[in-house]
Structure formats: structure tokens, C-alpha cells
Amino acid sequence: MQTDSSFTFVLFGGTGDLSMRKILPALFEAHRAGGMLADSGKIVAVARHATDRGEYIQWVNEHVKPHVSKNGVDEAAWASFLERIEFVNIDLGKAEDFVHLRDAIKDLPGIRVFYLATGPSLFVPICHALASVGLNENSRIVLEKPLGYDLKSSNAINDAVGEIFAEEQIYRIDHYLGKEPVQNLLALRFGNALFEPLWRREWVESIQITIAEELGVEARGDFYDNTGALRDMVQNHLLQLLSIVAMEPPHSMDSDSVRDEKLRVLRALKPIDPRDIGKVAVRGQYHSGVIRGTAVPAYATEAGVRPDSTTETFVALKVEIENWRWAGVPFFLRTGKRLADRVAEIVVNFRAVPHSALGASALRAGANRLVIRLQPNETIRLYCLAKQPGEGMNLASVHLDLAFDQFFREGQMEAYQRLLLDVINGRLALFVRRDEQEAAWRWVEPILNEWKASNKPPKPYASGTWGPAASSAMLAQHGTCWLEEEN
């Protein structure tokens, strides 16, 4: 992506964890690649934990530099990247301080991008403060998740931000939408005649979407204990991935065409009757266990977590889509912390052949499946059956493997790098529109309400396993199982 678009990128929360690990490294990689960022583009960090530019640059060298470029840092590129960075020290809680920000950037060129890498409680005050000094005009604003705690609070934030910024100025970021395999999922479906005829209820038996983490809550115990896995992962990442897997072909790849089709999927999600939640939703909480040979503590003993917490760290769901293409096909979603491996993948299980002259092995579930791996290694793998060498007609599973790092020799673009470039260049297709977000919250909220009303504790699972046994039992009722042997 070459660009001549000049920009001023204002980063609120400039000394935060997200800025340190993701945003600034992504901007550096775009800078280092050459041609992706206009030479005149500037990065303006806003924070309280540094007094001036010199102190901030020292912080960047100490904390950000270790997170850039896996193959080492090009010192010349790093030095020129630092020249892009300016710094403004203001108190985000004081609207009058934003005069200093306005004065600092008034002569800087190009489109203004305001990235709110802060807690959601600051979103509205920052927007009001920007408007008070006229910085909401001819600009773009990026909102990180979580955007609200439920539908009501999400609407309140969207209403307040929407009074200051038009919808086409608002970029609600979900970094999973920027991952290379997600882009390749669109290419796979809509760029090839091979798969689209099979991408429907007549040929698909079930679909699984998993986002599993080995890590616990780390230093985010306070935040996570008031959030939980359903809000943190399902309402956004998993439902966005589901909508891309299940969407109808858009007439083009412009922003509203893609997002219109995703919205249709989210609105077609079958509402869950509160009486059936125990059958189609599993919630769990990790206990102590072993991850890669190291003992790890139970969730309830983590720093910042209430000892009697009933917050879920694991969720598995059975989801149905009420439309012509997907009626009757179960979608199984799963996410959790302290699981057996770090993996994110989409598994499309195709139906078995209707009759086999080759023996029972040709009729087994999952004989034909497509596995789209998002992390840690990005691959697409197609499984089918082939004859084993030797006497007789004995079938065995074989696969075709597309490993992107081997097929494409040039380096892949990280999700945040792609999304930040899209913001700078005004491309909205990979960002969540307000009506999408509302539809997702509307579907999730009955589950949240039922769990709260029932006051039942989450099912325990040992760290280092794949979650509660009830998760596997839910799939067994449909004659299938989670794909775990490849991880």
C-alpha cells in the first residue's frame, strides 16, 4: 500500500501497554517498509507520564524498541522514525488542557487521526474536549474495545461520540479483522469458483471458531473481573469472525457493501431462549494447573480478582443462523484463557459423502474439512481422503497446505499495521459500524442477563486443558468434536 496521504496521528494513552506493544511498533513497521507513510506524517503522543519530548523518546527507546521487528532493528530506520514523533503532556480529565494540544498540532499537515488507546470511561470526555477546541472537524477517531459493558452503555457511548463525530469519521477497531488469514478468507470465498458452491447448508455439516489463549489475566485482573470472556471476546472478535465466514458475497469490497453483509448475518442470529442457555452456552473458570511445564495459579487467586468471583474465563456456544444459506448448520464458538495452547482458527467441517463404496472411513465426520489458522502460524489447510499405498482400498487423511510465510516470501503485514494504514487512508471496510455493534450486543445480552440472574458459578477447568468437559459434551450431541489434535 503506497500512499501520499499526509497525516497527523494523535495517540492518546501514549505510554500505555497497547501503544507500547502494538500501535507504535505497527507504525514503525509501516515507516520502515518505505512508501506506506507519507514523509510529512507526524505522530503526536499524548500522555501524563512524561514531562517533555526528550523524556518520552527515552521511554520509547526503552519500552517500544524491544517490541519492533522480529529480525532486529534497522537503526537508521529507527532514528528516522523517532523524528516523526512529537509529544504533548496534558491531563485528559481537564478539557482546558486541550488548548495545548490544538496549538501543538495546528500547523501540522494532513488528515488528523485521534487514536483513543485509553479506558472507555475516557472516550466521551476526550471527544467533548476535542470538540471544545474545534479538533473534531475534518478528522478521524479510532475507538478501542471494549465499547461499553452492555447494549445500554454501548449505545450511550455511541450516542455521545456520534454527536461530535459523524459515523464515517468513527473507526471502531477489532484487530482480528486486520489479520492476513481473515483477508485470505475473503479471497478464498469470493476470488475462487471452487469453494463458494460448497459454502452452504447442503455441503457444510458444522463450523467451529476458536480463540484460545495460554495466558491468564496477567496484570488486568481488575478489568477482567468486571468484564469476562463473553464481553471481552465473543461480543466482538468471535461474532465478527462468524459474520465474515457466513456473509453473502458483497457486490464490491467498499466499506458499506462488506459491512452491510456482515450486519445481515448478525441480525439473522437465532435468538437464544433463556430456558435453553444451559444447553447451548458453557461458561467456565480456570483453576490451578500446568502450562508448558510451569505451574500456574487459579483465576480466583490472581491479583485484582475477587476470591469469590463468578466471572467466566471460558465460553463455548452453539449458534444458529436463520437464513436460507445456513439454516440447520450449527456454528460452535469457543474462547478461553489458560487453555492447552494459543491458537485461533476457523474449522469448516463438510458433510460426508451420501454413500460410500469405499468403506466406512469415507463416511466419518470431518473427513473433508477446511482449517483456517489465524495464529500462531497463519495457514489454510484442506483435508480430504486418499488411498493408502499398498493392498486394498484403505483410506487415510491427507491435506493440502498453504503456509503463507513459505509461499509469499515478502514479510506479512501485522493486523494493527494494516488497520492503522486503513485509518490514515480513510478505508472503513475492516472497522465495525455502529449497527453491527448493536446487533452483536443485542444477541449477547440475554446470555449475560441469564447468567447474572441464575447466579450459578462457572464450571471449573484445570489450567492447561481445553476447558470444561461440558464444552465437548455440547458438540458430542451433534456427532462432532472440537478440532484439537492439530494444535
Angstrom distance (rounded) from CA 15 to CA 122: 15
CA distance 481 to 236: 24
Please give the full DSSP string across 220-248, using - where no structure is assigned: -HHHHHTTHHIIIIIIIIIHHHHHHHHPP
Q: Considering only CA atoms, which of 18, 82, 90, 78 is closest in space to residue 50?
A: 90
Q: What is the DSSP string of 315-380?
A: EEEEE-B-STTTTT--EEEEEESSBSS-EEEEEEEEPPPSS-SS-GGGGSTTSSEEEEEEESS-EE
Pairing state between β 379-387 and 369-375: antiparallel
Whole-angstrom CA distances from 421 to 43, 166, 180, 258, 392 are 13, 20, 14, 18, 56
In angstroms, the CA 336 to CA 356 distance is: 38
Is 237 a residue of the active site? Answer: yes
Cα-based distances in Å from 407 to 89, 177, 378, 404, 487 = 46, 22, 11, 5, 21
Q: Which of 31, 175, 237, 287 is catalytic?
A: 237
**d(C-alpha 411, C-alpha 413), whole Å:** 7
Q: How far apart are the first and last CA of the chain?
A: 33
Q: Tell me if 66 sits within 8 A of 451, measured CB to CB.
A: no
Phi, psi (5° rounding) for residue 121? -65, -20
Q: What is the C-alpha to C-alpha distance for residues 251 and 261, in angstroms, rounded to an integer? A: 10
* Grid cell listed for 335: 474462547
- The CA-based angle 57-63-66, given to 5 degrees, is 115
Rounded Cα distance between 264 and 267, Å, is 5
Residues 303, 306, 310: CA angle, nearest 5 degrees: 125
Non-local (6+) Cβ contacts of 452 within 8 A are none
Q: How many CB atoms lie within 10 A of CB 302?
A: 20
The residue among 330, 285, 284 whose CA lies nearest residue 305 is: 285
Complete DSSP assignment for 101-113: HHHHHTT--SEEE
CB 425 within 8 A of CB 251: no
Alpha-carbon distance of 296 to 211, in angstroms, equals: 20
Show which residues are catalytic. 237
